[in-house]
Structure 1
Amino acid sequence: MRKAFISPTKYVQGEDEILNLGYFVKTFGTSALLIAHPDDVKRVKDKLEATINKFGITLVESGFHGECSRQEVARLQELAKENNCDCTIGLGGGKAIDTAKCVAAGDSLIIIPTIAATDAPTSHSAVLYTPDGAFDDYAYFKQSPSVVLIDTTVIAQAPTRFLVSGMGDALSTYFEARATANSYSNVNAGLPCGVREGLCGPAKGTNAALALATHCYQTLLEDGVKAKVASDCNLVTPALENIIEANILLSGLGFESAGLAGAHAIHDGLTILEGAHHYFHGEKVAFGTIAQLVLENAPTEEIEEVLDFCLAVGLPVCLSDIGVDSITQEELMEVARKSCIPEESVHSMPFPVTPEAVAAAIITADKLGSDYKKGVIQ
């Protein structure tokens, strides 16, 4: 059996860690292309200036346009070439990070997330969009980022909703990994660039990745509420540090090397509902996790444990919590069919899944969550 595990070369997390950015740039050379939204640069300007002066590096401003499109990637690659940049830095949220991944194309890449809203920073994949923001394609690279640098002080200053959304994304990690392991399905870690050219075959997940996914869930239950309170106070505490690590590192390694399953597929289906458009990825994944547990007929105690956690930290447990106050049968089946297209991760569940089964799970999860909020289920 072929197995695969992928991870960043180095992960560093600590207070004011951006002050050490220059050290990592110097491992590649003396200059870096900085891909970041101007607002994110402004948030950490003093730290960037301090690390530039301390280590004698040059950061080339990119004028990032805010969308990870093929055109923007080509423009930034040319800018990096013109300025003889030795490495690429992606600083900020998902679009800046994905753009940096595409510009670097798997080489000499430093990722600095300013929020802990998803597990994307550690991955070797990115999502491309058209210039007007429509989905274009997925991109995979030969390796994960060279350095993932986490400044916990910066993340503590971000709105708490981002952290909670990250917990929603991380919440699915164990349950999807468990399903993938039970079905012996393939994982993203076996998909380097070149897979489309047949350079590499598929791979299963490793025991190490499943252990990380399990620890991710245990960390959420232990420290999630405490971390939310710390974030509300804009303070770095041990609990907040643990949840940042769970959201970014444990969940990131877990989803790529242990697998995705029903929760993310159902999330993808829910994106077609207009009411859900204003909700974050992790918020929709949290509801998708509940729906996956219903789909696999998980023990009542396990479902209630997840519901308790979601309510305690403020994650959605029913459709109205993600802006869907009503849904027609036609809309429901459209969501379910999108969740079940051949390339979706729902087929990593350890049993055959149909759109009808997904639709039933969504409605049942909605009713369970709604009733649980009202205290109907004890």
Structure 2
Amino acid sequence: MNGPAGDGGAVRLGASRRPGSRARRKGREMRAWCSVGHYLQGVDVIGRVGQYASMFGKNHLFLVDSFVCQMLGEGLYGAYPSLDGCTYRTLTFEGEISRKSISRLGNEAGGEFDVIVAVGGGKVIDVAKMVAAQSGAALVVCPTIAATDAPTSAMSILYSDEGEMNEIVLHVKNPDLVLVDSKVIAGAPTRFISAGIGDALSTYYEGESNWKTGHANYVWCQGEQAVGTVAGRAIARACMETLERDGRAAVKACEQSTVTPALENVIEANILMSGIGFENVGCSLAHGLGNAMTVLPDGEKSMHGERVGFSTLSLMIAEDYPSEEVERVARFCRDCGVPTTFSELSLAPSDDDLRKVAQAAMQAESWGASPVRLCGAEVVDILKATDALGRRIAQE
């Protein structure tokens, strides 16, 4: 399972790999844990990114998307005049994160840097992880949205040039520092925090799937496999409890671009708790289904966390959670702006479309983490049942 030369010893999991070969909990398996090296969150911290990055080296390469350049401007580099001996330069990244784009960016980057600073959303963060792994540079991540748990993880999701997910790469180590500016997060469109809630919502339920089956987690173990830790499971539960307590208030705060304690808590849940939870316990049906939706022509019109949030309800239906709990979570999703219907995902799927999603999902590595075994027709029915539940609740 060791990755190819140039990936820094990473492990590659094909996005369409069949389940069944991963570790199962029997009582004596190796347990494994990983987490980000340092995590700092607060108002206006992004202006001090140079100061924090200088803890890891003097020559800094910023990887940003063009929108971030326009939004933050020179304020991103304000600390550098006072930093003795520190240099920086900036490359912009746009488009899909594919093997081709990673190679191009690596060539543009050259080798004159010892710290990579990723500023932006999930794709620029994932490509920065790849370049850091290949170069051996330290990695500082500054997310400008809280739409996924990508910032803290040691994982990159790769796509084809056409936008279809086709590869998962597990890196040897997590980012050295994740720096989250709460004011920047609050100023982003509310849709991003809602999508992050959808992604983080899956952490507890998918973690429980893995805990029941003893499926391997996503911690790099030099090609070996390991199961989740009690600590990882506890953080996954705390993530869910934080969302339920503060999610609605956090969305309201974001609508006003206001930083409140509730928003701070949900930012931490979306990025830190969800990131630690999914890596250390694992993913299952929600990510299998959510990622599989990208096989549809309109699948990429919705965000990752929106698809995963919808698919968490599908997981709960598939694994026979009490109907009262499923409806409670569905209402929570609706209150927080997480899609609960196909139309809210910009989809109008035919039965044939749903069969394609089911087929792709059942090939996912994470599919084997679930304690239930489903045929394609059952998966189609579960997706339809999720949509029907969402439409019914929307009419109440």
Judge same fold: TM > 0.5, yes or no: yes
**Equivalent residue, structure 2, for 1:265:** 288
Q: Is the 8 A contact 1:67 1:133 kept in 2?
A: yes
Cα distance change of structure 1 residues 339 and 224 upon mapping to structure 2, 3 Å threshold: same
The offset of 1:77, in angstroms, is 3.3
SS of residue paired to 2:295: coil
Mapping of residues 88-237 of structure 1, within 5 Å: 88-105=116-133, 107-130=137-160, 133-189=163-219, 191-192=220-221, 199-237=222-260
Q: Is the 8 A contact 1:181 1:258 kept in 2?
A: yes
Q: Which of these residues, 96, 99, 118, is aligned with residue 70 of structure 1?
A: 99
The offset of 1:250, in angstroms, is 0.6
The answer on 1:329 being equivalent to 2:351 is: yes
Q: Is the 8 A contact 2:132 2:138 kept in 1?
A: yes
TM-score scaled to structure 1, two decimals? 0.91
Q: Which amino acid aligns with 2:281?
A: A
Cα distance change of structure 1 residues 133 and 346 upon mapping to structure 2, 3 Å threshold: closer
Q: Which of these residues, 270, 274, 280, is aligned with residue 247 of structure 1?
A: 270
Q: Which amino acid aligns with 1:154?
A: V
Q: Is the 8 A contact 1:32 1:88 kept in 2?
A: yes
SS of residue paired to 1:43: helix
Q: Which of these residues, 56, 59, 63, is aligned with residue 35 of structure 1?
A: 63
- Aligned partners of 2:359, 2:92: CA distance in 1, in Å? 40
Determine which structure has the larger helix proportion and give its number: 1
Q: Which of these residues, 42, 47, 53, is aligned with residue 14 of structure 1?
A: 42
- Aligned partners of 2:386, 2:100: CA distance in 1, in Å? 41
- Aligned partners of 1:270, 1:135: CA distance in 2, in Å? 10
**Equivalent residue, structure 2, for 1:297:** 320
Q: Which runs of 5+ in 1 are unaligned?
A: 193-198
- Aligned partners of 1:250, 1:356: CA distance in 2, in Å? 34
- Aligned partners of 2:183, 2:367: CA distance in 1, in Å? 37
Cα distance change of structure 1 residues 279 and 252 upon mapping to structure 2, 3 Å threshold: same
The offset of 1:130, in angstroms, is 4.6
**Relative CO higher for 1 or 2, CA cutoff 8 Å, sep ≥ 6?**
2
Q: Which amino acid aligns with 1:344?
A: E
Q: Which amino acid aligns with 1:291?
A: S
- Aligned partners of 1:6, 1:306: CA distance in 2, in Å? 29
- Percent identical pairs in the alignment equals 36
TM-score scaled to structure 2, two decimals? 0.87
Runs in 1 of length 4+ with deviation above 6 angstroms? none
The answer on 1:315 being equivalent to 2:338 is: yes
**Count of residue pairs the alignment pairs up:** 365
**In the TM superposition, what whole-angstrom CA distance separates every residue of 1:40-85 from its partner, at most 9, and x where no partner exists?**
0232224323221232432211243444333443344344445x21
SS of residue paired to 2:57: coil
- Aligned partners of 2:40, 2:380: CA distance in 1, in Å? 42
**Equivalent residue, structure 2, for 1:195:** none
Q: Which amino acid aligns with 2:360?
A: K
Cα distance change of structure 1 residues 30 and 229 upon mapping to structure 2, 3 Å threshold: same
Q: Which runs of 5+ in 2 are unaligned?
A: 1-28
The offset of 1:314, in angstroms, is 1.5
